[in-house]
Amino acid sequence: MVGKTTRILIVEDNELMRDGLRAVLERVDGFTVVGDAEDGISAVELAQSLIPDVIIMDVGLPFMNGIDATREIKKLLPGINIVMLTSHDRKEELYAALSAGAAGYCLKDCASDRIKIAVSSVSEGAAWIDPRIAGLVLRAFDTPLPVVEEPAAAAQANDLLSQREREVLRLMVDGASNKDISEKLIISLSTVRTHVEHILEKLAVKGRTAAAVKAMKEGLI
């Protein structure tokens, strides 16, 4: 019986990196690279025309960044699994990628074997995070969330958040600072701080990281 072939789209603006990924992946039995793109807009277009099983997506892309491209692709084609590829280990970027729908997160300087494992894992429906940064997610759950029985409990947070608070929360998940949120929503910094305080209170969490993780885990945005 012939095994299933995993069809892969590579999205990377660096030509040498793109060619290197292709060379590594095409040596693996059961993998086939069906195309590549240099920017986020082309990635969305090729995803729709090629319908790959897995996309390896660089975060820092021209025209449309990899996180926004991932969000758009998952909205149009939820069955495609995406592995984010980045040279950074910032927690804000990791949370934003997971929130956008990425199933894998891999650092660019990882060994080629890890890329293969990441692609294999997400193609089978599992999540895969580079072991060197997996601790960022685990540490977000180090402090147990308090049990709250009032109406502001996490179970009812979805109904309690106003439309504006949802907008602020989504930007928080994307890693935006208060200043970024202020500029994007055209509201004052003091108003942003008030919204953030109310969000933390309603979600019954301490800190923006815990709010972002809870938002993703419970589908609040």
- Tell me the whole-structure pTM to 2 decimals: 0.65
pLDDT tens per residue, range 21-52: 999 999 988 999 999 999 999 999 999 999 99
pLDDT reported for residue 200: 84
pLDDT reported for residue 124: 82
Q: Please tell me the distance from the alpha carbon of residue 128 to that of residue 110, in angstroms, as a whole number.
A: 13
- Name the nearest CA neighbour of 119 among 131, 134, 130, 104: 104
pLDDT tens per residue, range 120-163: 888 887 778 877 776 666 555 454 444 433 444 444 555 678 88
pLDDT tens per residue, range 58-109: 998 999 999 999 989 998 998 999 999 888 767 777 778 877 888 888 888 7
pLDDT reported for residue 153: 44
pLDDT reported for residue 1: 38
Provide the β-strand partners of residue 33: 8
- Name the nearest CA neighbour of 187 among 198, 178, 176: 178
pLDDT at position 212 over 80: no
pLDDT at position 20 over 70: yes
Provide the β-strand partners of residue 8: 33, 54
pLDDT interval class at 214 (50, 70, 90): confident
pLDDT reported for residue 138: 57
Question: For residues 91 and 62, is the Cβ–Cβ distance under 8 A?
Answer: no
- Name the nearest CA neighbour of 99 among 136, 74, 128: 74
pLDDT tens per residue, range 172-182: 777 677 888 89
Per-residue H/E/C for the chain: CCCCCEEEEEECCCHHHHHHHHHHHHCCCCEEEEEEECCHHHHHHHHHHHCCCEEEEECCCCCCCHHHHHHHHHHHCCCCEEEEEECCCCHHHHHHHHHHCCCEEEECCCCHHHHHHHHHHHHCCCCEECCCCHHHHHHCCCCCCCCCCCCCCHHHHHHHCCHHHHHHHHHHHCCCCHHHHHHHHCCCHHHHHHHHHHHHHHHCCCCHHHHHHHHHHHCCC
User: What domains appear along the chain, each with residue ranges and CATH number?
Assistant: 6-139 (3.40.50.2300), 154-218 (1.10.10.10)
pLDDT at position 3 over 80: no
Indicate the range of 40-44, 71-75, 192-196, 210-214 predicted with least confidence: 210-214
Q: Please tell me the distance from the alpha carbon of residue 49 to that of residue 123, in angstroms, as a whole number.
A: 19
